[in-house]
């Protein structure tokens, strides 16, 4: 069988917004770390300090910082591939990210620069690296221009040897919490094209996790937005009733505004926001993956039941219903809807629950293995996560000839990726 990691990242800080660290750290600290680590000697010194004095968390953040500050995407890919020494044929889906408009400033490379660089990596590893093209409705002026750009990237084969050229991209990636709803009208033409050509689409969907839009004025202006799949009715009906959170401690750290922006961005990517799009007759063939199974925190909240915190039990959004269970319910209704278990895998306490989902006949054949490397390095090393989960999954049979590992890391992903641009082998 061919095995895959369906969710990984190769971008470096050169490809990320210049104020990327401000999304996660107080401004003064983010500026200091960013400046110090721009110099190789300073980067090494900070990593050593974090490992020595930061405890386990500091050690993990040092790993994240080391990889994020890598010289280029080729170095990141090689570091990722080295985490799978027992399977040198393992394939990795690399998700490109258009982060230029998330309210954290532009990147040094620009998005097109990120794409040019990762295509160069693809040329060196054409069969192991499978690329998804990140799209944002604000990337181009109109929906037609966006589709034309996507088709150009997909259909222009790149030479990988003197006798062989391959399609550089095989899927699309969207990241709504960066500042748009998945049903944005400017995405309609591209999603329709994806459905017609069976091109898979993967969307970030992790409650309070990941990258978000840190432009308060912009977020407030789009939280109530027309849904073209529902006759342009305003979503959510009645508008967003959001109460700002107030915390003296967060205010003193300069994090209160950022935390409120993060909370508000939950409306943009709540599983419920995808319902009208998936119900549209033109998109009935659309293969869509809502990544992270809603978030490891939501899986844990489901397990904890009444013991879960109020915020986790009633997450921000229209339904205020557990995102893990929202996705489970939707997968039973929409037969082309997938999910992956990336990032959630960092929490070993939920592995048993994830395995229980993978073996279910109703939708277990649409759950996929992924890790969210390298963003997971703040939590734990890739090789350890892969090894621990695989050991549990390979000992869980689904049939006499199929284990949970075969299903989640091979069979399901093969089906998801198969399209005009990929048929199990790179073409």
Q: What does the pLDDT look like over 182-235, one tens digit per residue?
A: 999 999 999 999 999 999 999 999 999 999 999 999 999 999 999 999 999 999
pTM of the model: 0.95
Residues in the chain: 427
pLDDT of residue 22: 85
| Per-residue pLDDT band at 46 (split at 50, 70, 90) | low
CA 19 – CA 353 distance, rounded (Å): 37
Structure tokens at 270: 């709540």
| Per-residue pLDDT band at 246 (split at 50, 70, 90) | confident
Contact, 121 vs 74, CB < 8 A? yes
**What number is the average pLDDT over the span 152-179?**
98
Of the candidates 107, 95, 105, 176, the one whose C-alpha atom is nearest the C-alpha of residue 134 is 95
CA 398 – CA 421 distance, rounded (Å): 30
| Per-residue pLDDT band at 322 (split at 50, 70, 90) | very high
**What number is the average pLDDT over the span 28-42?**
73
Q: Is 90 exceeded by the pLDDT of residue 403?
A: yes
The domains found in the chain, sorted by start residue, are 4-17+46-417 (3.20.20.140)
- Output the 3-class SS for the chain: CCCEEEEECCCCCCCCECCHHHHCCCHHHHHHHHHHHCCHHHHHHHHHHHHHHCHHHHHHHHHHHHHHCCCCHHHHHHHHHCCCCCCCCCEEEEECCCCCCCCCCCECCCHHHHHHHHHHHHHHCCCCEEEEEECCCCCCCCHHHHHHHHHHHHHCCEECCCCCEECCEEEEEECHHHCCCCCCHHHHHHHHHHHHCCCCEEECCECCCCCCCCCHHHHHHHCCEEEHHHCCEEECCCCCCCCCCCCHHHHHCCCHHHHHHHHHCHHHHCHHHHHHHHHCHHHCCCCEEEHHHECHHHHHHHHHHHHCCHHHHCCCCCCCCCHHHHHHHHHHHCCCEEEECCCHHHCHHHHHHHHHHHCCCCCHHHEECCCCECHHHHCCCHHHHHHHHHHHHHCCEEECCEEHHHHHHHHHHHHHHCECCECCCEC
CA 54 – CA 47 distance, rounded (Å): 10
């Amino acid at each position: 069988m061919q095995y895959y990691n369906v969710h990984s990242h190769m971008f470096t800080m050169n490809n990320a917004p210049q104020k990327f660290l401000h999304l996660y750290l107080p401004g003064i600290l983010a500026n200091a770390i960013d400046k110090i680590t721009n110099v190789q000697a300073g980067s090494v010194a900070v990593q050593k300090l974090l490992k020595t004095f930061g405890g386990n968390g500091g050690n993990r953040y040092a790993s994240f910082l080391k990889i994020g500050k890598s010289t280029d995407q080729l170095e990141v890919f090689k570091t990722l591939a080295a985490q799978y020494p027992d399977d040198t044929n393992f394939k990795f889906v690399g998700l490109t990210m258009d982060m230029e408009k998330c309210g954290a400033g532009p990147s040094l490379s620009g998005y097109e620069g990120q794409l040019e660089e990762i295509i160069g990596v693809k040329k060196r590893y054409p069969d192991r690296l499978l690329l998804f093209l990140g799209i944002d409705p604000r990337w181009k002026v109109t929906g037609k221009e966006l589709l034309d750009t996507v088709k150009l990237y997909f259909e222009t084969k790149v030479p990988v040897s003197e006798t062989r050229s391959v399609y550089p991209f095989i899927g699309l990636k969207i990241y709504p919490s960066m500042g748009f709803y998945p049903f944005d009208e400017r995405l309609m033409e591209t999603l329709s094209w994806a459905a017609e050509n069976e091109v898979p689409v993967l969307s970030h969907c992790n409650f309070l996790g990941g990258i978000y839009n840190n432009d308060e004025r912009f977020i407030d202006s789009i939280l109530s937005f027309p849904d073209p799949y529902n006759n342009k009715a305003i979503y959510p009906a009645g508008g967003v009733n959001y109460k700002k959170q107030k915390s003296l401690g967060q205010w003193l750290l300069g994090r209160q505004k950022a935390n409120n922006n993060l909370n508000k961005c939950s409306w943009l990517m709540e599983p419920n926001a995808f319902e009208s799009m998936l119900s549209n007759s033109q998109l009935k063939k659309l293969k869509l993956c809502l990544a992270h199974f809603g978030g490891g925190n939501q899986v844990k909240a489901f397990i904890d039941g009444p013991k879960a915190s109020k915020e986790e039990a009633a997450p921000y959004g229209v339904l205020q219903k557990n995102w893990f269970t929202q996705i489970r319910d939707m997968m039973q209704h929409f037969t082309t809807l997938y999910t992956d278990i990336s990032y959630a895998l960092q929490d070993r306490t939920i592995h048993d629950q994830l395995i229980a989902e993978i073996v279910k006949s109703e939708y277990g054949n649409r759950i996929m293995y992924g890790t969210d490397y390298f963003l997971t390095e703040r939590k734990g090393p890739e090789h350890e996560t892969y090894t621990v989960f695989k050991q549990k999954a390979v000992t869980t049979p689904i049939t006499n000839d199929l284990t949970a590992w075969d299903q989640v890391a091979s069979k399901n992903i093969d089906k998801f990726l198969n399209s005009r641009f990929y048929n199990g082998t790179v073409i």
